[in-house]
Amino acid sequence: MVAKDRQAVAVSIMLGGLTLANVLGVPLGTFLGQRFGWSASFWAITAIGVAGFAAIACLTPSGGARDAAGGSLRAELAGLRSGEVWLSMGLIVFGWGGVFGGFSYIAFTLTQVGGFASATVPWLLILFGVGMCVGNYLGGKSADARPTGALVTAFGGVVAVLVVFALAADAKPVVLVALALLGAFGFAMCPALQTRVMRASAEAPTLASGASVAAFNVGNTLGPWLAGLAIGAGYGFVSPLWVGAAMTALALAVLIADVAIRARGGSEAAEPVLACETA
């Protein structure tokens, strides 16, 4: 539906709804719950869901996606044999899993280590949400121009922010900046990761796109699970930040190794993502 050199921007626009939902939804849900009772938030979500369903039904072109994909189920499954696709999904699991692992217990980190009042946590998370919006937009722009460079920057930024956050979790000014930067670098990787999978799976766009979403959800599960194990082992509420940094650092190391191997081999044909950088 969009030109190849605008895919990442298109993905970032789609993800923009998720980032705005975090910026606006958290404080709005908190306000509705406090003002009208806990069930008011769920009624509001239901109304928004119905409106979204109606908009999709009315505005989505019929048959467009099917015609664009144009392949059979067998062709889609064959496209998943690509090692590039599986490598990209592995980067999603550990790169994004590190972000979510570091963030999932952030309320406890803020209150038990940072000394923030519990009532301020929803409002502090707005900083994370604003960072998400900015990172998502900039990540989409940069991923179309330099997809691998965008990923290296995002992964490296997440690792650096989580390490600084862990070392200075009791310094409130540092925490405020870290929350915004974690959201920015964390969501900057999303358009680049999704686009990497799409470009690596030209023969299986529909199934690979669905598989990439599954990879994000695996990261959503694996990161908090590992972080929870660290907390359960007695390492405290700073430990999820270290777990997240380690997971994303692993993804960064694999990505850099992949770039180095491809550069040594000099094969552009087998490098659909990196080839875009030199086009």
pLDDT in tens, 242-259: 999 999 999 999 999 988
Q: Name the more confident of 245 and 28.
A: 245
Select, from the ranges 25-39, 46-60, 150-164, the one with the highest average predicted confidence (pLDDT).
150-164
Sequence-distant (6+) residues with CB within 8 A of 96 are 186, 189, 190, 193, 215, 216, 219, 220, 223
For residue 137, the model assigns a pLDDT of 82
pTM score, two decimals?
0.77
Asked whether the predicted pLDDT for residue 202 surpasses 70, the reply is: no
User: How far apart are the C-alpha atoms of 124 and 110, rounded to whole Å?
Assistant: 9
**If you average pLDDT over residues 204-224, what whole number do you get?**
84
The mean of the pLDDT values for the chain is 81
230 or 194: which leads in pLDDT: 230
Q: What is the pLDDT of residue 172?
A: 94
Calpha distance 236→234 (Å, rounded) = 6
Percent of the chain with pLDDT over 90: 38
Query: Where is mean pLDDT largest: 40-54, 129-143, 177-191?
Result: 177-191
The predicted structure's pLDDT at residue 157: 96
Q: How far apart are CA 135 and CA 182, in angstroms?
A: 9
Exposure b/e, 236-247, CB count within 10 A at least 16 = b: ebbbbbbbbbbb
Instruction: Measure the CA–CA gap between 75 and 62, rounded to whole angstroms.
Output: 22
Taking residues 42-53, what's their average pLDDT?
Answer: 88
C-alpha separations of 99 from 66, 131, 178, 223, 275 in Å: 33, 13, 12, 8, 27
Instruction: Give the CATH number of domain 79-263.
Output: 1.20.1250.20
Whether the pLDDT of residue 204 is over 60: the answer is yes
